[in-house]
Amino acid sequence: MSKLSFYLPVLGFVFVAIALWRGLYLDTKTLPSMLIDKPMPNFELTSVEGSGVSNLDLPDQIFLLNVWGSYCLPCLIEHPTLMRLSEEGEIPVVGVNYRDQQGLAIDWLADNGNPFSFSILDESGRFGIDLGVYGAPETYLVDANGVIRFRHVSVLDESVWQEKFLPAIAELLEEGS
Amino acid sequence: MNSTATELNRKVFLTLISIVVLLCSLLLPNTTYSQVDTFEFDTEEQQDRFRTLSDELRCPMCQNSSLSGSTGGVAEDLRREVYRMIMEGMSDSEINQFMFERYGDFILFRPRLTAGTVFLWFGPLLFLFIGGLFAFGIWRRARKITDSDTELDKTQQKRLQQLLGDKT
């Protein structure tokens, strides 16, 4: 009994200490997406370029859905990676122009280059809510059936592409064959 | 001697003052600053529901503030959605469900009861129970001591009398 009453508080202390220690390094800013393994939400909107777009216009293969805006500085950092991916034909990239203005978006694409097959114009942020977006940039990996399989919040640079997206894509291809 | 006494009085006085000030601050209205939206409601009840919902929904992009207390872009959009859904006659639980489906448990300041959140809801009770067990153990041991261990036997009584006798 006396042994137990000595070791119990010690064990308790160790348990709490480990829990708090882990807590220091938890990433509380990146939320898990609720849409993983769910189909892309339906949309019938216009593109930044001004034509009507809906789910039917999405690629019939694995593609990236990138949430961007002309006001978004980190988007400039990931831009070269998106440009490379689309120029080299590695994967199609569809844009969501989130809480932006059409004119500014058009200018931004003209200045920096346009990696997107098309960009869904979401000035009100309403489509972003259906996606569970909480700020640009975010990038979703969508499979050939239009199901969302992975989300990355914040900048998608070459190392994120190598370390997170390529393995996720390899997994999708494996399960498809 | 006198100066230490006044020093002590001063400290007691200051402590009391600070306690009073702290207590008074608790009485002040404790409402979070709400964003001024120009939403117009048909009834006061709708307005109350809007306030409660935007206080109990968490802004996804800003840590630990509610929709009502945030200027963030998403928070603004979500407040507009809450307003729209209230005006369309959706119930509070339907609105919470809408938010949950898109943003998950994170957005609910009052998380739902699921396997993942059981500890969150009942953890404090568990700790209270464990603490209670300890308190009970200590209380029982303390009672045992008063019952038996503090009584002196005859030789001890005699010795006590001797010691006291020596003094007087």
DSSP symbol at B43: S
ipTM of this predicted complex?
0.86
For residue B100, the domain's CATH number is 1.10.8.640
Note the pLDDT of residue A141.
97
Mark whether B54 and B99 lie in a shared domain.
Answer: yes
**Omega before residue A137 within 30° of 0, cis:** yes
Question: What end-to-end distance do the CA atoms of chain A give, in Å?
Answer: 61
Mark whether B66 and B94 lie in a shared domain.
Answer: yes
DSSP letters, B103-129, are H-GGGBSS----TTTHHHHHHHHHHHH
In a domain, B36, yes or no: no
In a domain, B115, yes or no: no
Q: Where are the beta strands (DSSP E) in A16-85?
A: 44-46, 52-54, 63-68
- Residue A145 distance to chain B (closest CA, Å): 20
In a domain, A161, yes or no: yes
pLDDT band at B168 (very low <50, low <70, confident <90, very high): low
Q: State whether residue B78 sits within 8 Å of chain A by CB.
A: yes
Note the pLDDT of residue B120.
86
Within 10 Å of residue B143's Cβ, how many Cβ atoms? 10
Nearest to B71 by CA among B32, B97, B102: B32
A66's CB contacts (< 8 A; 6+ apart) are: A82, A93, A94, A95, A96, A116, A137, A138, A139, A140, A156
Mark whether B26 and B51 lie in a shared domain.
Answer: no
In a domain, B94, yes or no: yes
pTM: 0.76
Mark whether B76 and B103 lie in a shared domain.
Answer: yes
Tokens 């630990």 locate to B64
For A91-140, the pLDDT digits (tens) are 999 999 999 999 999 999 999 999 999 999 999 999 999 999 988 899 99
Within 10 Å of residue B18's Cβ, how many Cβ atoms? 10
The answer to which of A107-111, A172-176, B121-125 has the lowest mean pLDDT is A172-176
| Domain membership of residue A88 as a residue range | 30-176
Contact residues on chain B for A27, CB-CB shorter than 8 A = none
Instruction: Report the DSSP beta bridge partners of residue A53.
Output: A45
In a domain, A6, yes or no: no
- Scanning B19-38 for CB atoms below 8 A from A yields none
Nearest to A83 by CA among A115, A108, A105, A118: A115
In chain A, the number of structural domains is 1
In a domain, B6, yes or no: yes
For residue A76, the domain's CATH number is 3.40.30.10
Contact residues on chain A for B95, CB-CB shorter than 8 A = none
Contact residues on chain B for A131, CB-CB shorter than 8 A = 102
Chain A residue with minimum CA distance to B137: A5
| Domain membership of residue B87 as a residue range | 44-107
Question: 3-state class of A148 per DSSP?
Answer: strand
In chain B, the number of structural domains is 3
For B12-69, the pLDDT digits (tens) are 888 888 888 888 777 765 555 555 567 899 999 999 999 999 999 999 888 788 998 8
Q: Answer with the one of B79, B107, B135 that is the final residue of a domain.
A: B107
Q: What's the Rg (C-alpha) of chain A? A: 21
B12 burial via Cβ count (<10 Å: 0-12, 13-18, 19+): exposed
pLDDT band at A1 (very low <50, low <70, confident <90, very high): low
Question: 3-state class of B29 per DSSP?
Answer: coil
Q: CA distances (Å), A169 to each of A67, A122, A140, A144, A155, in order?
A: 19, 27, 12, 11, 18
Mark whether B72 and B97 lie in a shared domain.
Answer: yes
In the structure encoding, which two tokens stand for residue B108, read together? 């609910």
